[in-house]
Amino acid sequence: MSKNKMMNVLVLGASGAGKSTLIKAISGAEVMTGVGEGNTQKIDVYESDTWSIRCIDTKGFEYNIFEQWRTIRQVKKYTKSQLANIEETQNNEIGVDAVWYCVEGTARRTFTHNITLMNKAIKGWKNIPVFAVITKSYSEKDIPENIEALQQAFAKLGGVNFKKIIPVVAEEYAINDEVKVAPMGIDELCLNTLDCLDEAKNINKENRERMVLEQKRFTANATTIGATATAFTIGAIPLNFADSQMLVPIEVGLTTVIFKIYGVKISNEIIKTIIGSSAITLAAKQVVTFAKGLPIAGDIVNGTVAGAFVLALGEGVIAVSEGIYTGKIDPTQTDRIAEVIGENIKDNPIIKATMEYFEKNSDKISGKTPKEIFNEIKKSVNKKKK
């Protein structure tokens, strides 16, 4: 069986809902099962020899809210590990393709609450196909009632790529010595899941690309914030800070690190050329000219403006890096890269907000540090975004 055709199915549900028994019935693996508290304490993966399905077993949702969040964190941690594997191995067949959400047919639990927990757990894997599996469906007369309750619960939640509700009996169940309930629903569940293989793989690919890009953006933003904090310390330099020998290494270092985060291969010499280009220096001079006309202590202005400029530079480099990463910008077009970064700096809301702040508050900043002023500016920018 080709591993490339395997569907990766995340199996979720309340503790004791029969997830492990279901997985055992499909994969043939000896999965720990039992009564009382759930037995799955970590994520395990089981491949079926019969079906092109890889089951990802999770810790069950408990009634305790702390245990519920532990399960959600467990899935998020697994998601993070999958993204790391994508980057390291370029494996396009990992991640999560679909979800089986198991509810116990005999439990009469609150479906809406449990489905909400499921949605939180799979938040990173947007729009993946979801199947509701009613496990332990021993009573035929209870099945219609359980299906209706689940339909109502999913309808209330919304925003889920909900496919089908499938009652299942994973293993033979003895009512008494004479009456036994035969296994059912396994074929229907697996066939319906595999029917959406192409859709699921495309959604998985989109999710992986989005999450990898989000992770790169998060790391690049954190790097930019660190460089911005360093820039605050250069408050004593002359007002032409953009040409300062103290600030240029910060700019070059920040640009180099962000490019590396996105896998952009550009030499240090070219990076220095980009930083020293007219497109970026013109954007800097716009800020410098403004700062020179302020009747405020130079160290306060310099530190704040330097921080704003470095932050804008970082965000500009991130925009270019994402353009290169997604194939929208040619990494060999140095002039174009410098132009895009310069435009981002010139139009950056943090630069405009810094100018507005000093114009309106020049008589109210006595005793404040550049970092404190900058935090106030960032708050105003974030407020406008909302």
Q: Are residues 222 and 169 in the same domain?
A: no
Q: Which residues fall within 8 angstroms of residue 73, CB to CB, at 6 or more apart?
A: none
Question: Token pair 């889920």 is at which residue?
Answer: 160
Residue pLDDT, tens place only, 216-246? 999 999 999 999 888 877 654 554 544 455 6
Q: Are residues 159 and 259 in the same domain?
A: no
Query: Which residues lie across from 134 on neighbouring strands?
Result: 103, 167
- Residue 180: inside a domain, yes or no? yes
Determine the pLDDT at residue 242: 45
- Residue 270: inside a domain, yes or no? yes
Tell me what the mean pLDDT of segment 8-31 comes to. 84
Q: Are residues 9 and 49 in the same domain?
A: yes
**In which domain, by residue range, is 273 found?**
214-385
- Residue 209: inside a domain, yes or no? no
CB 60 within 8 A of CB 19: yes
CB 21 within 8 A of CB 43: no
Q: Are residues 174 and 289 in the same domain?
A: no
- Residue 316: inside a domain, yes or no? yes
> How many angstroms separate the CA atoms of 100 and 135, rounded?
11
Q: Are residues 167 and 238 in the same domain?
A: no
Determine the pLDDT at residue 130: 95
Nearest residue to 383 via CA among 349, 345, 351: 349
Residue pLDDT, tens place only, 189-200? 999 999 999 999
The token pair that represents 24 in the structure block: 């055992």
Q: Tell me: pLDDT of 364 over 80.
A: no
**Strands lying side by side in the sheet with 98-104:** 44-47, 53-57, 7-13, 98-104, 130-135, 162-167
CA angle at 136 for the pair 133 and 137, rounded to the nearest 5°:
80
CB 181 within 8 A of CB 172: yes
Q: Tell me: pLDDT of 77 over 70.
A: yes
Nearest residue to 246 via CA among 255, 237, 257, 256: 237
Determine the pLDDT at residue 196: 94
Record the pTM.
0.75
Q: Tell me: pLDDT of 334 over 70.
A: yes
Nearest residue to 308 via CA among 341, 275, 353: 353
> How many angstroms separate the CA atoms of 65 and 69, rounded?
6
> How many angstroms separate the CA atoms of 30 and 23, rounded?
9
CB 205 within 8 A of CB 211: no
CB 39 within 8 A of CB 17: no
For the chain, the domain total comes to 2
Determine the pLDDT at residue 223: 96
- Residue 189: inside a domain, yes or no? yes
Lowest mean pLDDT among 170-179, 240-249, 314-323, 339-348: 240-249
Determine the pLDDT at residue 301: 63
Q: Are residues 81 and 157 in the same domain?
A: yes
- Residue 200: inside a domain, yes or no? no
Instruction: Please give the single-letter amino acid code of residue 30.
Output: E
Q: Tell me: pLDDT of 39 over 90.
A: no
Q: Output 81 or 366, whichever has higher pLDDT.
A: 81
Q: Are residues 224 and 150 in the same domain?
A: no
> How many angstroms separate the CA atoms of 149 and 185, rounded?
19
Q: Pick the last residue of a domain from 130, 163, 195.
A: 195
Residue pLDDT, tens place only, 158-212? 788 999 999 998 888 777 777 777 888 999 999 999 999 999 999 998 998 898 8
Q: Is 105 exposed, middle or buried (0-12, 13-18, 19+ CB in 10 A)?
A: buried
Tell me the CB-side half-sphere exposure of residue 214, using CA atoms within 13 A.
11
Average confidence score pLDDT of the chain:
81
Q: Are residues 290 and 236 in the same domain?
A: yes
Q: Are residues 116 and 18 in the same domain?
A: yes
> How many angstroms separate the CA atoms of 113 and 163, rounded?
19
Q: Which residues fall within 8 angstroms of residue 21, CB to CB, at 6 or more apart?
A: 31, 33, 135, 170, 171
What is the domain-level CATH number for residue 98?
3.40.50.300
Q: Tell me: pLDDT of 94 over 60.
A: yes
CB 164 within 8 A of CB 196: no
Q: Are residues 249 and 288 in the same domain?
A: yes
- Residue 80: inside a domain, yes or no? yes
Q: What percent of the chain has pLDDT over 90?
A: 27
Q: Are residues 150 and 294 in the same domain?
A: no
CB 365 within 8 A of CB 298: no
> How many angstroms separate the CA atoms of 158 and 353, rounded?
39
Nearest residue to 229 via CA among 374, 377, 381: 374
- Residue 203: inside a domain, yes or no? no
Q: Tell me: pLDDT of 42 over 70.
A: no
Nearest residue to 116 via CA among 72, 82, 178, 73: 72
Helices 248-261 and 268-275 sit at what angle, rounded to 10 degrees?
120
Determine the pLDDT at residue 239: 47
pLDDT band at 33 (very low <50, low <70, confident <90, very high): very low
Q: Are residues 324 and 238 in the same domain?
A: yes
